[in-house]
Amino acid sequence: MSLFNVFDIAGTAMTAQSVRMNVTASNMANADSVSSSTGQTYRARQPIFEAVFNDLVDNNISNGVRVTGVVESQSELRKEYQPAHPQADGEGYIYYPNVNPIEEMTNMISASRSYQNSVEVINASKQMLLQTLRIGQ
């Protein structure tokens, strides 16, 4: 029954989108985690999505989505001159993470909308299945 597969497919999407939400939350939480060197400073992370294909039936039909990994942003860190800061380096500089709060906000909204879409797909499929079970009654 292919309608049961819809639950699996929408489930993978919900998992992937919640990973994205977690990563966004981590980025926002660490937006002000300063440090005294470029190596120690937190860098913005992004999950990488990839379509899952069912090799047993047909190579071209997707069976959901998965997160293949989380990558760190390579854009430059913000360097600020604050000699009075307890974490300032020898020259009086501190380093801010390369988290862009606006980017993170849009990412969060997009992830939450996609998650809601999957929930609605599951609800609609559930209704369809329940009605199929009631057939002939």
Residues interacting with another protein, by CB under 8 A?
1-3, 5-6, 9-10, 12-13, 16-17, 20, 49-51, 57-58, 60-65, 110-111, 114, 117-118, 120-121, 124-125, 127-128, 131-132, 135-136
CB-nearer residue toward another protein: 25 or 128? 128
Q: Do 49 and 79 touch, CB atoms closer than 8 A? A: no
Residue 12's CB is within 10 A of a number of other CB atoms, namely 19
CB nearer to another protein: give 63 or 100: 63
* Closest distance to another protein from the beta carbon of 31 (Å): 23
Give, for 11, the enclosing helix (H) or strand (E): helix 2-29
Q: CB 1 → another protein: shortest distance, Å?
A: 7
Look up residue 84 and give its DSSP letter: T
Minimum distance from residue 47 beta carbon to another protein (Å):
10
CA-wise closest residue to 19 among 68, 67, 63:
67
Residue appearing with tokens 């294909």 = 53
Residue among 53 and 93 whose Cβ is closer to another protein:
53
Q: Which residues, in sequence order, are CB contacts of 96 under 8 Å at separation 6+?
A: 32, 34, 41, 77, 78, 79, 80
Which residue's CB is nearer to another protein, number 32 or number 51? 51
Minimum CB separation from another protein for residue 121, in Å? Answer: 5
